[in-house]
Structure 1
Amino acid sequence: MAEEAEDQTITFEDFKLNKQLLNAIEEAGYQKPTPIQQQAIPQIMAGHDILGIAQTGTGKTAAYLLPIIMKVKYAQGTNPRALILAPTRELAMQIEENIGLLAKYTDLRYTAIYGGLGPKTQISKINEGLDILVATPKRMMELYLKGELVLKELKTMVLDEADKMMDMGFMPQIRQILEVIPRKRQNLLFSATMHDKVIELSEEFLEFPTRIEVTPQATPVETVSQVLYQVPNLRTKIAMLEYLLQDKESFNRVIIFTRSKKNAENVAKFLERREYGEVRAIHGNKGQNTRINSMEAFKGGEVRFLVATDVASRGIDITMVSHVINFDVPFVYEDYVHRIGRTGRAENVGAAITFANEAEMYHIRKIEKLIRMQIPEEPMPAAVEVHETPFEEKQEIAMTIDHLKRQANPDFKGAFHEKKAIPKGKPTNSKRDPKASFWQKTKKKGSKKR
C-alpha cells in the first residue's frame, strides 16, 4: 500500500515543465509540489483565471511563476508580456529573486520596480527590454504616465497579496491599471484572506475564475507551534524577552515584531546594549538600501535578530527562521497570520510566541476567531520577574480597554466614568510617555526597581 501511495505522489515532472525549469527547481531545493502548486499550476497552464486563497509560506509564488515562465518561454520583443503586482517593495524584491531562481536557465528578462528609490535605474532596465515585470501599483502608474512603460503586449496579470493591497488603499491605482492594459488577458489573483474588498476586486478583475483554496482562510501554517503569554506591561515584556533569548541554541534566528517604528528601534537598541547577538531593525523610516542589506544579512545568518514592523511581515521569505516573537499584538488581525508565517516556511518547523497585556488580550480573542483556533496559553516562567505596572502605563491600558469596550457597546460608560477615585497628586492627562521613560532607564546600567 505504501508503495502504491508513493507512486501516486505528484512531482514537478507531472506538470510537463521544460528541462530548464526542472533543473532550476531541483537546484532551488524544491522536493515536491505544495498543495497550492498541485492545484494552481495545471489550471494556470490551461489558461484559466484563478482566485487563489493561500496563506503566506504555502509556495504560492512558485505556483504562478512556474506556469508564467513556461508561457513566456524566451526573450522576445521589448515590452513585458507578464505583469505581477505586489503591495510592498519587500514582496516585489522577493518575487524578483524567485524569478531569478526559477528562470536561471532561460534568457528571460525581468525586473522589479517600486518606490523608495529614484526611478532612473528602473527606467534604464525597462528600456533594455522586458518579458516579466514585477511592480508596486503606485510606481508602475508613475512610470506608465511618464511614457516609460508600454503595456499593450501583456498576456498575463497577477495580483499578489490582494488583501494587503486593499488594506493599503491601492484600489484606485489598480483600477487605473485595469483601464490601460489589454482586456484580453489571463488574470491571477492571490490573497491570504477573502474579505469584502477582495471579493469586490475579484468581481471586477476576474472572468469565470477557478477558485483554489488550499487551507481555510487566515489559518496559520500547520508547521508553526504557537504560544501566548499574558505579560502585564512593557518592562515585563522586556524581562520575558531576555529570559527567552538566553537559549542561544534554540533562538538562533529570530524575528521580533512590534506595532510601531519607535518600539522596533527601542527593542533593537536594547538588544544591542545587552550584546545578545547581531541585531537589525527594519521599518518604514529605514532607507531602502538599509532594509535590503538588513534582510540579506539576516538571511545569510550574520544577524541573529531582525526587529520589524508589519511593513516587513510579507516581504521576508527565509526558510530557517527559528522563532517569531510578537512583542506587541497587531491591531490588523490578518497581520498575525502573516507575522507567524515568517517561520515554519517550506514545511520546516517553526515557533511563534506572543506577549499580550490586558488591553491586547481583547485583540487576541478577535485573532482567535479569525484563525478559528485558540492560541495555547502558558503561565509566565517562574524565573521571569513580573514588574509592577507604572501608573502612566496602567492608565493607558485602562483607557484603551474603555475605548475598545465603547466601540463594541456605544452605551458603555467606561471605568473612568464609573470610578472617579484617582489618587491625589496623580495627573489624569500626563504628557510623559511611560514607554519612553522605561527605554531611557535601560540606557543606564540597569533600571531602578520601584
Structure 2
Amino acid sequence: MAEEAEKEISTFEDFKLNKQLLNAIAEAGYQKPTPIQQQAIPLIMAGHDILGIAQTGTGKTAAYLLPLLLKVKYAQGQHPRAIILAPTRELVMQITENIALLGKYTDLRFTGIYGGLGPKTQIETISKGIDIIVATPKRLMELYLKGELVLKELKTLILDEADKMMDMGFMPQIRQILEVIPRKRQNLLFSATMPEKVVQLSEEFLEFPMRVEVTPQATPVETVSQVLYQVPNLRTKIAMLEYLLQDAEEFNRVIIFTRSKRNAESVAKFLERQELGEVRAIHGNKGQNTRINAMEAFKGGEVRFLVATDVAARGIDVSMVSHVINFDVPFVYEDYVHRIGRTGRAENEGASITFANEAEMYHIRKIEKLIRMQLPEQPLPPAVEVFKTPFEEQQEIAMEIDRQKRRENPDFKGAFHEKKAIPKAKPTKTRRDPKASFWQKTKKKGSGKR
C-alpha cells in the first residue's frame, strides 16, 4: 500500500490537503514530498497507527504534522486534542516552529512545554485553551499531576525520536502517560533506529501499525559524504581541526560534536582564540536562553561554528550546514546517525568528518556494523603536525583498549587488569610493586612482638 502511494503522489496537492496548508507549504518553499511524506501521509490520513523509521533530515516532522493539522483543523474546546512527545527541549522548540510555519493560516492553538524554566507561563498558555501540545515526557507528567492539564479529549499521540527517549530513560514517564490518556486514539511513533527498547515500546503503544521505512534502519542520509581520519591524540585533533577550518569558503557553517561538556568548552575557546569566525557552544550546563540564542544565531548565519554535545544535537534544524565534524566518536552508536543527519538536510548536500584515536576505532567498527557500511578513511594531510601523545593520555587510551578487549573476552587479562588481593604472607624481597616494598620496609622497621 505504501509503495502504491509513493508511485501516485508527486506533489503536495495529491494529498488533498486544504488550501490553508497548501499555501503555507508553498511559502515555506517545499518543492515536492520526500519519500517518508509520500508513504506516511496517506496512511496517517486514513487513520492507521504508524511505525515510522526515518533519519533526521528526511522530512519526517512534516510527514506527521501535515495530516495532524488537517485532522485537528481549527481551534476547538479547552483541552488538547493532540500531543507530540520529544526527548529534548530543543526538539520541542523545533517542532513548535514547524507547526507555526505549516499552520500559519489556521487558528490552531499550540505550545511547547519543557523543563529548564518555570512552568508558570506554560500553565497560563494552556489555561487559555489549547489544541496541540509539544512536550518532553517529564514536564508533561509534572503539569498533569499538578492538575494543570486535562487529557480526556486527546485523539492523537505522537512520539518523535523514540530511540533517543529510550536512551534518556523516559520509559517510566511514557508508561505513565499511556495510563492516563484515552485508549481510543491514533498513535504515531517515529525513530531513526529500532533498538530492542523501541521495539518493546512499539508493541505496547501501537495497535496493528503500518510500518513505513524509507531507508534501511540506521542508514545515514544519502546526501551526506563521510570520511574518517585516524588521529592519535587530542592535540593532533586540535591541529587537524584548525587545518580544516582555515578554508572559510568550504567550511562555512560547521557543527562540531564532542562527547563531553569539557571538550565542547575547550574546542569553543580554542576556536575563539584562533579568530576563525563566530563560535558558540551548547551543552547540558548552558542555560536555556543561552542555548536558544546560540541556535538562533547559528540558524541566522551570524555564527560560523556551533560546538555541541549529543544532548543538544537533536534540536538543531538548519538546512544549510556545510559540515559536521565528529571531534570525538560517540559511544552511543545511534548518535552517529543523528549527528551526521544535521547536515545534508532537505536534500541538500553535506559532509561528515570523523576524528578517531586508537581506542575510538573500536567504536568506529561498531558504528560501521550498525550503518552497514565502511567509513572511507583518509590519511592525515602532510601539513597537519602530528604531536606525541602525552603519557597520561596514552595511559587512558591503553586502559580503554584493555576494557574493550575484556568486553569482547571476559577472560582477557591486559596490562591494566585489576590486581586481586594478595593473601597475607611473609615479607618478600621483591620490588616489583614500589608501594608494597615501601609498606614492607615500614612494617619491618616498626615490627616487634606484642
Please confirm whether the aligned pair reaches a TM-score higher than 0.5, indicating the same fold. yes
Distance 2:209 2:395 in 1: 51
- The size of the alignment, in residue pairs, is 416
Q: Secondary structure at the match of 1:211?
A: strand
Question: Quick one: which amino acid aligns to residue 198 of structure 1?
Answer: V
Cα distance between partner residues in 2 of 1:400 and 1:195? 25
Query: Which string of whole-angstrom CA distances, capped at 9 and with x for unpartnered residues, describes residues 370-395 of structure 1?
Result: 00000000000000000111111111
1:411 corresponds to: 411
Query: 1:73-88 maps to which residues of 2 (within 5 A)?
Result: 73-88=73-88
Aligned twin of 1:432: none
Does the aligned pair in 1 maintain the 2:402–2:417 contact within 8 Å? no
1:431 aligns to what? none
User: Within 5 Å, which residues of 2 pair with 1:62-141?
Assistant: 62-141=62-141
Specify the alignment match of 1:293 in structure 2: 293
Paired residues of 2:9 and 2:38 also in contact (CA < 8 A): no
Distance across 2 between alignment mates of 1:334 and 1:197: 13
The alignment status of 1:317 with 2:300, answered yes or no, reads no
Give the Cα separation in 2 of the matches to 1:359 and 1:206: 40
- The answer to whether residue 324 in structure 2 is matched with residue 327 in structure 1 is no
- Map of 1:31 onto structure 2: 31
8 Å CA contact 2:219, 2:372 repeated in 1: yes
**Structure 1 equivalent of residue 169 of structure 2:** 169
Q: Specify whether residues 9 and 84 from structure 1 end up closer, same or farther in structure 2 by C-alpha distance, changes over 3 A only.
A: closer
Q: CA-atom RMSD, angstroms?
A: 1.6
Please name the residue that 2:279 is paired with: 279
- 1:103 Cα deviation after fit: 0.1
After superposition, where does 1:335-374 map in structure 2 within 5 Å?
335-374=335-374
Distance in 2, matches of 1:416 and 1:325, equals 32
Question: Which position in structure 2 is the counterpart of 1:54?
Answer: 54
Secondary structure, aligned partner of 1:280 = strand
CA distance in 1, matches of 2:214, 2:251: 30
Which whole-Å CA distance do the structure 2 matches of 1:63 and 1:388 have between them?
A: 50
| C-alpha distance in structure 2 between counterparts of 1:86 and 1:260, whole Å | 22
The two structures have a TM-score, normalised by structure 1, of 0.91
Q: TM-score, normalised by structure 2?
A: 0.91
Q: CA deviation at 1:416?
A: 4.1
After superposition, give the CA deviation of every residue in 1:229-255 in whole Å (9 maximum; x if it has no partner).
000000000000000000000001000
Residue in 1 aligned with 2:423?
none
Overall identity of the aligned pairs, in %: 86
| Alignment-mate amino acid for residue 94 of structure 1 | Q
Matches of 1:417 and 1:145 in 2, distance apart? 49
Q: Which amino acid aligns with 2:89?
A: R
Task: Tell me the CA shift for residue 8 of structure 1.
Answer: 6.0
In 2, distance between residues paired with 1:39 and 1:385? Answer: 50
Q: Which residue of 2 aligns with 1:250?
A: 250
Partner of 1:155: 155
Shift of 1:114: 0.2
> Are the structure 2 counterparts of residues 135 and 238 from structure 1 closer, same or farther at C-alpha, using a change threshold of 3 Å?
same
Deviations 1:252-299 (A, max 9, x none): 100000000000001001111111110000000000010000000000
Q: Does 1:306 align with 2:309?
A: no
- Structure 1 pair 274–189 and aligned structure 2 pair: CA distance change class (3 A): same
In the TM superposition, residue 78 of structure 1 has moved relative to its aligned partner by 1.0
Q: Distance in 2 between matches of 1:327 and 1:194?
A: 26
Distance 1:380 1:289 in 2: 39
Name the counterpart of 2:422: none
Q: Distance in 1 between matches of 2:313 and 2:369?
A: 21
Once residues 392 and 70 of structure 2 are traced to their aligned partners in structure 1, the CA distance between those partners, rounded to angstroms, is 60
- In the TM superposition, what is the alpha-carbon distance from 1:91 to its structure 2 partner? 0.4
Gap runs ≥5 in structure 2: 1-6, 419-431, 436-450
Tell me the distance in 2 between the aligned counterparts of 1:172 and 1:416.
38
Per-residue displacement from partner, 1:54-112 (whole Å, max 9, x unpaired)? Answer: 11111100000000000000000111101100011010000000000000000000000
| 2:146 corresponds to | 146
In 2, Cα distance between equivalents of 1:370 and 1:62: 27
Q: Distance in 2 between matches of 1:126 and 1:117?
A: 16
Distance (Å, rounded) in 1 between the aligned partners of 2:9 and 2:189: 27
Aligned to 1:262: 262
Larger radius of gyration: 2
Amino acid at match of 2:231: V
- Can you give the 5+ residue segments of structure 1 that lack an aligned partner in the other structure? 1-6, 419-423, 428-450
Letter of the 1:30 partner, please give it. Answer: Y
Q: How does 1:374-413 map to 2 (within 5 A)?
A: 374-413=374-413
Cα deviation for residue 312 of structure 1 reads: 1.5
1:417 CA displacement = 5.9
Q: Is contact 2:95–2:134 with CA below 8 Å preserved after alignment?
A: yes
Q: 1:234 — aligned with what?
A: 234
Measure the CA separation in 1 of the matches of 2:9 and 2:69.
24
Residue identity opposite 2:387 in structure 1: H
